[in-house]
């Protein structure tokens, strides 16, 4: 098993105004002369914690991380206006141009894999490689599995807590019921729903329950952005034109070197999505971690991701 690289501090932290309303926070770490790589975090609404830097060799990579609209240190916090997949794709390009980077590797897991696919399919000439984890393509069957019925059979105890904010009469459409509360003018109603939504994901993300992760996801500030922005994207079907858009457009990126890492027992983003992406994209290396769930910090997934980032520094010259 691979251990994380030592935690390093960014050599640059700054903001980029991407619209009249939104300002995104970004940071650069590692080697300013290294190979550029952009990390697209999960959620949407998850932000970039410092330990993400530890997946990349600090002398070989120029790592760019940014908090997507409305989350992390970006402003305004938990904002849903002007916050769509295509706004984020545009932000990635604005950031690339602002930093003077011609091409870069794209690294993303969970929602970050969704955004990585959307970005690379829109701007394939700007991507030298893709490292994807916990594949999520924001299709109805994926949303229904996790938020309506499916994962509930595996985690009935955690599911019971997820149900609590929603009256029985509204439980036929949990995403719609949560959206109503997460956009309520009553902040107490918002926060109660946000904590329940976020804790549900934290409770199911790892093969072995992690109380620390549950505590982090239950934090008011984190939960507000995470739950509101996720639900906003989900009720709008990811702002895609067709449900299978990301699969249908794989032909645009099949020439790009790629690695797909998937936990066998991922309940949040079940392996069927990664398998379907692999079937459509056989050129990409497909790694199934046999003893892992969804989280990138689980030992097998951590090892596969670090091995992938190390491999790309030598392969992509």
Rounded distance between C-alpha atoms, residue 262 and residue 275, angstroms: 9
Q: Which CATH number fits domain 12-138+240-315: 3.40.50.1820, 3.40.120.10, 3.20.10.10, 3.20.20.30?
A: 3.40.50.1820
pLDDT computed for residue 144 by the predictor: 98
Q: Of residues 29, 74, 110, 120, which has the active-site annotation?
A: 110
Strand pairing class (61-66; 104-109):
unpaired
pLDDT computed for residue 297 by the predictor: 97
pLDDT computed for residue 219 by the predictor: 97
**Neighbour count for residue 34 (Cβ, 10 Å):** 17
The domain spans of the chain are 12-138+240-315, 141-238
Q: Of residues 29, 113, 205, 266, which has the active-site annotation?
A: 266
Residue 186: active-site member: no
Residue 210: active-site member: no
The model carries a pTM of: 0.98
Q: Of residues 25, 41, 278, 294, which has the active-site annotation?
A: 294
pLDDT computed for residue 316 by the predictor: 61
pLDDT computed for residue 317 by the predictor: 55
Q: What is the pLDDT of residues 218-259, one digit of tens each?
A: 999 999 999 999 999 999 999 999 999 999 999 999 999 999
pLDDT computed for residue 223 by the predictor: 98
pLDDT computed for residue 314 by the predictor: 79
Residue 113: active-site member: no
3-state secondary structure the chain: CCCCCCCCCCCEEEEEECCCCCEEEEEEEECCCCEEEEEECCCCCCCCCHHHHHHCCCCCEEEEEECCCCCCCCECCCCCCCCCHHHHHHHHHHHHHHCCCCCEEEEEECHHHHHHHHHHHHCHHHEEEEEEECCCCCCHHHHHHHHCCCHHHCCHHHHHHHHCCCCHHHCCCHHHHHHHHHCCCCHHHHHHHHHHHHHHHHHHCCCCCCHHHHHHHCCHHHHHHHHHHHHHHHHCHHHCCCCCHHHHCHHHCCCCCEEEEEECCCCCCCHHHHHHHHHHCCCCEEEEECCCCCCCCCHHHHHHHHHHHHHHHHHCC
Give the chain's residues under pLDDT 50.
none
């Amino acid at each position: 098993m691979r251990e994380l690289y030592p935690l390093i501090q960014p050599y640059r932290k700054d903001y980029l105004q991407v619209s009249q309303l939104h300002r995104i926070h970004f940071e650069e770490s590692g080697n300013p002369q290294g190979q550029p790589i952009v990390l697209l975090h999960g959620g949407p609404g998850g932000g970039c914690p410092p330990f993400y830097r530890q997946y990349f060799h600090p002398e070989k990579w120029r790592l760019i991380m940014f908090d997507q609209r409305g989350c992390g240190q970006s402003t305004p916090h938990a904002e849903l206006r002007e916050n769509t997949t295509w706004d984020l794709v545009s932000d990635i390009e604005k950031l690339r141009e602002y930093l003077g980077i011609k091409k870069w590797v794209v690294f993303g897991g969970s929602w970050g894999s969704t955004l990585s696919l959307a970005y690379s399919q829109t701007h394939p000439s700007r991507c030298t490689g893709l490292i994807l984890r916990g594949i999520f393509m924001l299709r109805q069957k994926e949303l229904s599995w996790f938020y309506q019925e499916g994962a509930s059979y595996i985690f009935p105890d955690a599911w019971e807590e997820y149900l609590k904010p929603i009256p029985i009469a509204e439980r036929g459409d949990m995403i719609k019921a949560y959206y109503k509360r997460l956009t309520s003018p009553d902040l107490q109603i918002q926060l109660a729903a946000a904590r329940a939504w976020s804790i549900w994901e934290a409770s199911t993300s790892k093969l072995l329950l992690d109380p620390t992760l549950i505590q982090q996801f239950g934090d008011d500030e984190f939960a507000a952005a995470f739950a509101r922005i996720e639900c906003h994207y989900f009720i709008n079907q990811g702002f895609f034109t067709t449900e299978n858009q990301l699969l249908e457009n794989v032909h645009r990126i099949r020439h790009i070197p790629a690695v797909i890492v998937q936990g066998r027992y991922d309940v949040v983003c079940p392996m069927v999505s990664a398998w379907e992406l692999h079937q459509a994209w056989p050129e990409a290396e497909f790694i199934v971690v046999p003893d892992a769930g969804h989280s990138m910090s689980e030992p097998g997934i951590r090892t596969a991701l670090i091995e992938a980032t190390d491999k790309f520094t030598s392969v992509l010259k």
